[in-house]
Amino acid sequence: STSLSESGRGPPLRLAQTLSHMPEQTYEPVIGLEIHVQLKTQTKMFCASPTAYGGPPNTQVCPVCLGLPGALPTVNGRAVELGVKAALGLGATVHGTSVFARKSYFYPDLPKGYQITQHDRPLATDGAVDVPSAGGTARHVRIRRLHLEEDSGKSLHDRVEGATAIDLNRAGTPLLEIVTEPDLASPADARAFLTQLKQALAYLDVSDCNMEEGSLRVDANVSLRRPGGGEGGTRTEIKNLNTFSGIEKALAFEVERQSRVLAGGGEVRPATLLWDAARGEAREIRGKEDGGDYRYFPEPDLPPLVLEDSWIDGVRRSLPEMPAKRVARFVEEYGITPGHAAVLTGTRDLADYYEAVARCGVSCQEAANWVMGEVLAAINAQSCALPQFRVRPRDLADLIAMMDEGILSRPAARQVFARMAETGEPPAQIVGEAGLGRVADAAAVSAWVDEALAAYPAEAERLRAGDAKLSAFFVGRVMNLSGGVADPAQVNSALKEKLGG
């Protein structure tokens, strides 16, 4: 039970030899994440400057977010509401009183010389996300705390030759910082967790979660420990993680690096690392020891944030059904597999769409197949958001019903669907139109021909005897029976076949 931090000093030789043979079995990663989520507000956390993305530099600023002397912050109520909504949606306890604090440090993009955040009394604590794993068993990832804070500005290193420019448009943007416990055991776990978290935040509609625009940012802490628990090693923190795949790669890189350090009998030093995605490596930007002293103290310009229980309950009542619950309900209510339910609940829009189709009385499995197949393919092909998709759920249900009733074969129904996705017309209209009307399958045509022959036995007898005029009569009867969707040529050949002609 040698702790890792001692491994360089204890019995290093034997340990190093063991490690060099199978380092990946000797240690297991311990990973905890700090996620900064930009809350979906029109204006900033402590002033009325707009938060819109992509404006010309330094056009979305005011005395408050510029940190001019004498300017006083006021709290953005909408940001508080969204933060509380996120916290409740992630199962956390929202506190009736939380306290804003100053975190002081010097950096050119921090106009006031301090960030207003929350420190020892955060907005919420003790949430969790259950992350489904490939094996089927969920991993319970605890969320230690969620707190409100303001973003800093942005240093631009590529705008001005030989200098760094500062854009303060982002300074003061509302953020929710979400801190997990170190409950993740692999880079893949970390990625799966983030995928789940992002889905939850999207359901809650509290953030755009757009990593490219910086509205979801992740810092990852990682250390190694002996399998089965016990004392862990020193951790490092990786910053500048811009994509989920980048996070997974950066963590794998750092796990590998720490393994090699320990295997070589060395000691992992606390450090902050910057991930360089282009080179696929993490570089140390500072040792952790000299970071540290932020001189936190309660923000004197803001009173404690006091939230009434009844108000918190109101936010709780506004929560949507969260993904895990919705998956379970879909399995129960529509009799589809958990795998299909997981796909269909990928976003709230998709889940709403599926439910709207399934509730029209068609087969729930058939509806699932169409939504997972044709609908997803069509909205991808059109790069169209589901609410703007031209095929309304009711019309898709009608199409499925026409297929069930044998009016349309499956390939014909696909053809009709493609047209619906283009024009937004209801299926009956498309089926009735020339060309696309001739789409009934052979079995349906055969059944209509039988029906027509049975309804007019005398005429059938004359046709059988060679009276060719009557074939046009029967084609007409069948076209009528089919509501116009049968192909006349197909009807003709079916007639010939049945009458031995």
Instruction: List residues binding ligand ADP (CB under 6 A).
Output: 30-34, 179-182, 221-223, 232, 235
Q: Please say which residue, 119 or 340, places its beta carbon nearer to Mg ion.
A: 119
Cα 190 to Cα 145, 179, 231, 468: the distances in Å are: 17, 13, 21, 74
- Window contacting Mg ion (CB under 5 A); options: 40-48, 173-181, 240-248, 360-368: 173-181
- Shortest spacing between CB 365 and Mg ion, in angstroms: 47
Provide, rounded to whole angstroms, the least separation between the CB of residue 227 and ligand ADP: 15
Q: How far is the CB of 295 from ligand ADP (least distance, A)?
A: 15
Whether 139 and 133 have beta carbons less than 8 Å apart is answered as yes
For residue 16, the Cα-to-chain-centroid distance in whole angstroms is 42
Instruction: Indicate which of Mg ion, ligand ADP, none lies near residue 167 (CB less than 5 to 8 Å, by partner kind).
Output: none
Which of ligand ADP, Mg ion, none lies near 258, with the C-beta cut-off 5 to 8 A by kind? none
In angstroms, the CA 428 to CA 434 distance is: 12
For 241, phi then psi, to 5°, come to: -95, 115
Shortest Å, Cβ 209 to Mg ion: 18
Provide the phi-psi class of 21: left if phi over 0, else alpha when psi is between -120 and 50, else beta. Answer: alpha
Q: Does 151 bind Mg ion (CB under 5 A)?
A: no
Token code pair at residue 36: 């900064």
Nearer to ligand ADP, 227 or 488 (CB): 227
Minimum CB distance to Mg ion smaller for 173 or for 259: 173
**Number of residues assigned to the chain:** 501
Q: 236 is in the binding site of which of ligand ADP, Mg ion, none (Cβ under 5 to 8 A by kind)? A: none
3-state secondary structure 136-190: CCEEEEEEEEEEEEECCCEEEEEEECCEEEEECCCCCCEEEEEEECCCECCHHHH
122 versus 427: smaller Cβ distance to ligand ADP: 122
* Shortest Å distance, C-beta 396 to Mg ion: 46
Which C-beta is closer to ligand ADP: that of 53 or that of 294? 294
39 binds, among Mg ion, ligand ADP, none (CB under 5 to 8 A by kind): none
Single out the segment in contact with Mg ion by CB under 5 A; choices: 177-185, 211-219, 399-407, 491-499: 177-185
Give the span between the Cα atoms of 271 and 234, in whole angstroms. 9
* Nearer of residues 235 and 477 to Mg ion, judged by Cβ: 235
Q: How far is CA 408 from CA 317, 380, 450, in A?
A: 45, 25, 18
Give the list of residues 6+ apart from residue 217 with CB closer than 8 angstroms, or none. Answer: 35, 36, 211, 241
Q: In whole angstroms, how close is the CB of 123 to ligand ADP at the nearest point?
A: 16
Q: Are 356 and 394 in contact (CB under 8 A)?
A: yes
> Please, which residues bridge with residue 113 across strands?
none
Q: Which is nearer to ligand ADP, 180 or 196 (CB)?
A: 180
CB nearer Mg ion, residue 177 or residue 299: 177
Stretch that binds Mg ion, among 170-178, 252-260, 306-314, 367-375 (CB under 5 A): 170-178
Compute the least distance from the CB of residue 108 to Mg ion, in Å: 18
HSE toward the beta carbon, residue 242, CA cutoff 13 A: 10
In the structure encoding, which two tokens stand for residue 253, read together? 């890189």
Q: Which does 177 bind (CB under 5 to 8 A by kind): ligand ADP, Mg ion, none?
A: Mg ion
* Nearest distance from C-beta of residue 426 to ligand ADP, angstroms: 52
Considering only residues 81, 177, 189, 248, which one is a binding residue for Mg ion as defined by CB under 5 A? 177
Interface residues toward Mg ion, by CB under 5 A: 177
